[in-house]
Amino acid sequence: MTSEFKYEKNGLIIDYKHMMKPLNSSKFAISSSDLKEKSYLFNDMGAYIEERRRSGELGFMDLPYDLKQVDEIESLVESKRSIMDNLLVLGIGGSALGNIAINNALNDPFNSTYTNGNYPRIFVEDNIDPDRIHSLFEHIDWKRTVVNVITKSGTTPETMATFFIAKKIMQEKMGEDYRKHIVVTTDPEKGVLRRHAVEEGFDILNIPRNVGGRFSVLSPVGLFSACSSGIDLGELLRGAREMDTECKASDFYHNPAYLIAAMKYSAYMHGIRINVLMPYSSLLKAFSQWYCQLIGESLGKKDDLDGKICFHGITPVSSSGTTDQHSQLQLYVEGPEDKLIIFLFVGNHKSVVPIYDRELPDELSYFRGRSLNDLIISEGKGTSLSLLESGRLNFEIMIDEISPYSIGGLFYLFEMVTLIMGRLLNINAFDQPGVDRSKILTREFLRRKKV
C-alpha cells in the first residue's frame, strides 16, 4: 500500500516527502508532475531487467533462490564446529564488506555469543596493515581457528599474501592437520586459488561465475561466516526473495527500487552527486560502508555503453547517526548544496534502555519517561527536518527491526537500485576497469628490484 510520498510494505517504509515541492523549498526539489514524468523512464525497466536476468547476466538476482548453497554451507559449518572457536575471514572489497555488514548487524557487537553459545569469534581482515596483521596472528589460537580465504580470481594480492602468511603459520603449528582448518571460497572452475585448493585438499565453496564481488554478499562469500555465527540463512534469503517480488512491481509508486532510484536520479541530474547514507543504528554502520563500495565501483565510470566519455559517478559517504550529527551535519545543513542525505532508521531496536530520570535537572526534564530508543529516533527525525528547513534534499528508509529477514531485503533492495541506476545512466554497473589497472601497477611495483 502507499500514501502520498510514502511506500510501506512488509516492514519497510520509504518516506520521500522531504524531496518534494512545495514542502522542500530547494530549487532541486521534485514536483508531483516531475515525478510522474520521471516514472515513464521506468516503463520498460522490468522487461529490460527480466531479459538480462534470463540471459544470465544478473546472477546476483538468482542467489536468494539458491537453497542448495544453504544446505552445503550448513553442512560444512557443522563439520568445522569442533575446531572453530575463531573464524578468520581473509578477503577485501566485496569479499569482506558484506561479511562485516552481516555480522555487524546481526551478531552481538562484543562477540559475547562466543561465550553464550557454540559460535566463534569472527575476525574479518580486509587490510594488509603489517602491525594489525602481526598482532592478530601473534595472539590468535590457530589450533582453534578456521580460515576462510575469499577471492574469486585467486589473484587478489592483499588476500593471497595474507593467506600464505597464515598458511605457513598453520603448517608450523599443526603439521598436516592444518588442511582441515582452511575453507576456500573462489571461482567454481578456474583460477590460481582454486588450483591450489584442489592440490592441497582444502574444502571449497563456489562463487557463481556471473556474480561479481560487490554483489556477492548473499552467495557463499557472505553466507559461510553468517552461518558460522548462527544467523538464519533461510530468513536472510527469504527477505531477499520477498524484496525481489516487490522490485518486480510494474506500478512505479509501488516499487521500492524504482522510487529510490528516481530520487537518486533526479538529484543526480540536478548536479547533486554526493549520496550520504546515514543509519541511526550502530549495527548498520558497516552496511553503509558496504553501500559505499556498491555505489562507488558500480556507478563511477568514464565511458558509457555507447563508448562515449561520460565521467558518471556518485560519491558515496558513510555517515552514522547520531555520531556524525556532531561532525558532519553542519556541512550538510549550511555547506554546498551538493548532497542527497538518505536516512536509514530502525523502528524497533532489539533492546529498550530507559533513561534514569529520578534526579534530572529541570533543563533535562524532557528525558522523563523516555528511553534511548525515543532519543535516537527523535534525533534522526529532528536532523531530517533541520535539513528540510534549510532546503536540503533528503529522504527516509525505515525497517521495522534488524533481523536476518530485513537485512537480506536491504541488501537486495540496494543492489537493485544500483542496477537500475546503471541503466538510467547508460553505463556498465558490473565492471571496474579503474580498479583492475591499479592491480596491474601493484604487481609491476613488486617485480622491481629493491633499491
The pLDDT tens digits for 124-179 are 999 999 999 999 999 999 999 999 999 999 989 999 999 999 999 999 999 999 99
Could you give the percent of the chain with pLDDT greater than 90?
90
Provide the pLDDT confidence category of residue 1 given band limits of 50, 70 and 90: very low
Each residue's pLDDT tens digit, 57-104: 999 999 999 999 999 999 999 999 999 999 999 999 999 999 999 999
> Do the Cβ atoms of 435 and 297 come closer than 8 Å?
yes
Mean pLDDT to the nearest integer, 119-124: 94
Measured CA to CA, the distance from residue 204 to residue 148 in angstroms comes to 10
Read off the pLDDT band of 187 (50, 70, 90): very high
Q: Note whether 420 and 429 are within 8 A (CB).
A: no
Please check the confidence at residue 114 and state whether its pLDDT lies above 70.
Answer: no
What confidence score (pLDDT) does residue 449 get?
A: 66
H helix or E strand, kind and range, residue 9: strand 6-9
Q: Catalytic: 246? A: no
Cell matching residue 203: 574444502
- Taking phi first (over 0 means left), then psi (-120 to 50 degrees means alpha), and beta for anything else, what does residue 5 get? left
Cell of 361: 535537572
Averaged over 294-303, what is the pLDDT?
A: 97
Residues 117, 98: contact at Cβ < 8 Å?
no
Dihedral sign for Cα 79, 84, 88, 94, please. Answer: positive
The catalytically annotated residue of 254, 270, 381, 439 is 439
Cα(369)–Cα(379) distance, rounded to whole angstroms? 17
Q: What is the mean pLDDT of residues 29-44?
A: 95
Instruction: Encode pLDDT of 404-418 as tens digits.
Output: 999 999 999 999 999
Residue 117 has pLDDT above 70, yes or no: no
Active site residue 297: yes
User: How do residues 354-410 score in pLDDT, each as one tens digit?
Assistant: 998 888 899 999 999 999 999 999 999 999 999 999 999 999 999 999 999 999 999
Distance CA 177, CA 100 (A): 28
Rg, Å, the chain Cα set: 23
* Bridge partners of residue 312, in order along the sequence: 301
Label residue 212 left, alpha or beta by phi (over 0 means left) and psi (-120 to 50 means alpha): beta
Handedness of CA 323, 274, 61, 87 (dihedral sign): negative
Q: Which residues, listed in sequence order, are joined to residue 89 by a DSSP beta bridge?
A: 124, 148
pLDDT bin (cut points 50, 70, 90) of residue 116 is low
pLDDT band at 451 (very low <50, low <70, confident <90, very high): very low
Report how far apart, in Å, the C-alpha atoms of 133 and of each of 90, 165, 439 are.
Answer: 11, 10, 21
**Selection from 186, 211, 207 nearest residue 59 by Cα:** 211
pLDDT at position 441: 85
Residue 275 backbone phi and psi in degrees, to 5? -110, 120
Tell me what pLDDT residue 111 has.
65
Are 160 and 442 in contact by the 8 Å Cβ rule? The answer is no
Q: Tell me what pLDDT residue 118 has.
A: 76
How high is the mean pLDDT of the chain? Answer: 94
Domain limits, the chain: 2-51+237-435, 59-231
Dist CA 290 CA 222 (whole Å): 12
Distance CA 5, CA 276 (A): 20
pLDDT value, residue 170: 97
pLDDT given at position 445:
86
The CATH code of the domain at 59-231 is 3.40.50.10490
pLDDT at 435: 82
| pLDDT exceeds cutoff 90 at 183 | yes
Q: Could you give phi then psi for residue 316, rounded to 5 degrees?
A: -85, 145
134 part of the active site: no
Question: What is the pLDDT at residue 52?
Answer: 96
State the catalytic residue, choosing from 27, 139, 308, 326: 326
Supply the DSSP symbol for 415.
H
Read out DSSP for 270-330? TT--EEEEEESSGGGHHHHHHHHHHHHHHH-EEE-TTS-EEEE--EEEE--TTGGGGTTHH
Global confidence as pTM = 0.95
CA distances from 245 to 255, 277, 314, 358, 402 (A): 9, 24, 27, 50, 20
User: How many whole angstroms separate alpha carbon 102 and alpha carbon 231?
Assistant: 9
Q: Which grid coordinates are listed for 338?
A: 551538493
Residue-level pLDDT at 272: 97
CA dist 273 to 24, 27, 197, 396, Å?
19, 15, 43, 18
**Is the pLDDT confidence value at 33 over 90?**
yes
Q: Which amino acid is at 153?
A: S
Residue among 431, 301, 423, 429 nearest 50 (CA): 423
Question: Which residue of the set 125, 158, 246, 297 is catalytic?
Answer: 297
pLDDT for residue 2:
43
Same fold, 2-51+237-435 and 59-231: yes
Judge whether residue 444 has pLDDT over 70: yes
Q: Does domain 2-51+237-435 have CATH number 3.40.50.10490?
A: yes
Per-residue pLDDT tens for 192-213? 999 999 999 999 999 999 999 9
Contacts of 103 (CB under 8 A, 6+ apart): 122, 124, 225, 226, 229, 231
Could you read off the pLDDT of 233-291 as tens digits, one per residue?
999 999 999 999 999 999 999 999 999 999 999 999 999 999 999 999 999 999 999 99
